[in-house]
Structure 1
């Protein structure tokens, strides 16, 4: 009786082992086929991303779609590496024997590929093909033929320059463009206004912004100027007036590529390319929760703003806290130089909780008071940080020339 039971057990084990070997071969062939399909999907996704990497994408939904495809490619790449690593693990002979003899104790391979997983990546390959066609058709020169001349040339990768001198006034506008991955077509705009008869009206504005087909370059520049605060109102009105009369027929264009440092500064000023964009629409911020005094001050396209100007220390000093002798000394000072940086999309974990408006009102008088208290000091700075946006103010004073130094130069 015992021999019959033992024989039955052995026969069952052998039958199970044979069945397991055949099923393993079929499974192996199926896994190899799925692996080939996964590798092909990986390659095609990579091709789609590379073909569009330097194309001027100027429509936000296409930028968001490219970001999605890039995330899927990364997911596919991780899975492919994981499966390859798994295939390199050679099972010991003892484990194979145990699996063949005792199939009931076999643990399913959790890392094995499935047809549904591979099919998902293949579906994204079709989306990538459509994405490439959409970008290529949108990047053709004929696509921009109905746009106004300046924005059409900028979207095509050209730079813009205009220079005008009329009497004591000088005005210049320069724009360099480049295609930055995930950010689309980005432009650096430099606007310079100078009046030799009124030095205090001299100003310089640098703006980094995304370019869309609907971008109004002059309108955005004027809005950035008007957002600088009431203390620059008269200066901004003169500069904006000159800007609004820009004669487009006298503008010259050139082949443009931004410097690497310009691209780096642009991407660092907005680490999240889709900040303030939700569902393809411009929002106060992507989370629709965080806001600050910079929220809404600048258009969503604006990545950062730099503003340079000069002001009179005598006209802006605090008379109540300054005696007559110091006021007379301040009259001899050269105009103070001020530089302001605005980063509307740069976030900080530990905001200082202060008011940006208050700092804008205080910066000039605070800098003057500091220079009075410390005559040897030539630079003064003030910063403002929030959970969504930051600003920095820098004021510098020229060192007075001594009579001895001026005689030596003569």
Structure 2
């Protein structure tokens, strides 16, 4: 009897001590959760303030990416613990805890526990601690400094002399355009900027040269360039560099004509500017296509210098094109001979080929930082699709030349086009060749229309 009374008294004492300890733990945890919540508020505020600011420094974009990652991790941790603290606080604080009926239930249930089990109840561990919260508070302090750095750098000061044309207007959010007809020629040129959260300032350059003379059909071309901007960006020079890179790969005969036209753009005096977007829905289309073309805007940035080891992946695209390039495409006209295809005396597929002098329209596009997840080469011609083992981009270009001439030039009755898609784990490209009638419109369709029609759904389907 005395032993039973002693055990009961010991049990009540331990329960009372346990309740006191648990209440202190709950109050401590509530304070820790409150500190985490405040740190996350500061992080969220920094991210919101800089979301639409024209960040042009890659280092600032990387810093923002780290802050956003910390915020998401902290928000996930908070969601796991805040509701639990609220529920426990509602049950174990205030008058409920001190009510006799509540204490009686605790004491009554003590008989069901052994002394050893009671001793172990306060050993429950939580992953949310003061030291963990201190890490998020440190990130919040960094976020304050980050906002100050962004505000001091965006937009560029008016007294800074920028080296290259158009950069200041683009960083101010202006849309630039030029459209003029000279005799049988028409020049159309525009650059459209957009600030995207986490991606900085990106711009889309479109250039189209139309020659209405059917005898000079090969002079017409169009191109589209999408890239990240900075104060030191020579956007026209970058377009010229992209033409050179693709021409070296494809042996494009129109290279000199295209570069010659682009070189004149720098000196155009009749360019108009406006804050109005070029067409309705431009921002949504641009953002969707940019994100689709380069999911990670800072991939290939190893400590901010050059492509990383993961970017090579049997793909030369990240080395052929400058790191800031998102998408480049070009349309032009070539003949079979100029495109370095077989002549009338050559053989392909074991039979003689009669070269059709009708111009071929060539569409090419490159996305150096596309992410597919697997590597393959796909071909579409005559309504049939075929897949080939993955090879280098040079091997795919050679295949495009030989098989397109056999399909289009070697079979005069064919009215379809020939398409090849090349996908590496980091980077993709497409090639399209089709025959053109002399009486058709002299200008290739603007390459820029592609980002209005291609979607993430298409990407999921192809992968």
Please report the TM-score for the alignment, with normalisation by the length of structure 1: 0.85
Shift of 1:306: 1.1
Say whether 1:142 aligns with 2:157.
yes
Match of 2:120 in 1: 105
Match of 1:408 in 2: none
Distance 1:80 1:183 in 2: 27
Shift of 1:143: 6.0
Shift of 1:222: 0.6
Q: Return closer, same or farther for 1:196/1:364 CA change in 2, 3 Å cut-off.
A: farther
Shift of 1:290: 2.7
| Matched positions, count | 395
Is the Cα contact below 8 Å between 1:381 and 1:394 reproduced in 2?
Answer: yes
3-state secondary structure, aligned to 1:57: coil
| Equivalence map 1:69-80=2 (5 Å) | 69-80=67-78
Say whether 1:32 aligns with 2:51.
no
Distance 1:160 1:265 in 2: 20
3-state secondary structure, aligned to 1:375: coil
User: Residues 26-82 of structure 1: CA distance to partner in whole angstroms, max 9, x if unpaired?
Assistant: 222222222222222222221111111111111011111111111111111111110
| Root mean square deviation of aligned Cα | 3.1
Say whether 1:191 aligns with 2:217.
no
Match of 1:406 in 2: none
Shift of 1:336: 2.0
Equivalent position to 1:266, from 267, 272, 290: 290
User: Residues 91-121 of structure 1: CA distance to partner in whole angstroms, max 9, x if unpaired?
Assistant: 9967994589753121533336321122221
Is the Cα contact below 8 Å between 1:161 and 1:173 reproduced in 2?
Answer: yes
| Equivalence map 1:7-406=2 (5 Å) | 7-87=5-85, 88=87, 97-98=109-110, 102-106=117-121, 108-111=123-126, 113-140=128-155, 142=157, 145-148=160-163, 149-166=165-182, 168-196=184-212, 198-230=216-248, 232-245=251-264, 246-247=266-267, 249-255=269-275, 257=277, 258-283=282-307, 285=308, 287=310, 290-313=313-336, 316-319=341-344, 320-321=346-347, 327=354, 330-331=356-357, 333=358, 335-347=359-371, 348-351=373-376, 352-371=389-408, 372-373=410-411, 375-398=413-436
3-state secondary structure, aligned to 2:313: coil
Shift of 1:251: 2.8
Please report the TM-score for the alignment, with normalisation by the length of structure 2: 0.76
Shift of 1:210: 0.5
Shift of 1:305: 1.0
User: Residues 202-229 of structure 1: CA distance to partner in whole angstroms, max 9, x if unpaired?
Assistant: 1111011000121111211111011123
User: Residues 141-190 of structure 1: CA distance to partner in whole angstroms, max 9, x if unpaired?
Assistant: 52674324511111121122234555555433211110112211111111
Is the Cα contact below 8 Å between 2:15 and 2:106 reproduced in 1?
Answer: no
3-state secondary structure, aligned to 1:81: helix
Distance 2:31 2:175 in 1: 50
Gaps of 5+ in 1: 402-410
Q: Return closer, same or farther for 1:96/1:106 CA change in 2, 3 Å cut-off.
A: farther
Is the Cα contact below 8 Å between 2:204 and 2:225 reproduced in 1?
Answer: yes
Q: Return closer, same or farther for 1:11/1:184 CA change in 2, 3 Å cut-off.
A: same
Which deviates the most, 291-300 or 99-108? 99-108
Distance 1:124 1:100 in 2: 45
3-state secondary structure, aligned to 1:300: coil
Q: Return closer, same or farther for 1:64/1:205 CA change in 2, 3 Å cut-off.
A: same
3-state secondary structure, aligned to 2:123: coil
Q: Return closer, same or farther for 1:364/1:171 CA change in 2, 3 Å cut-off.
A: farther
Q: With a CA cutoff of 8 Å and minimum separation of 6, indicate the structure with the bigger relative contact order.
A: 2
Which deviates the most, 95-104 or 26-35? 95-104
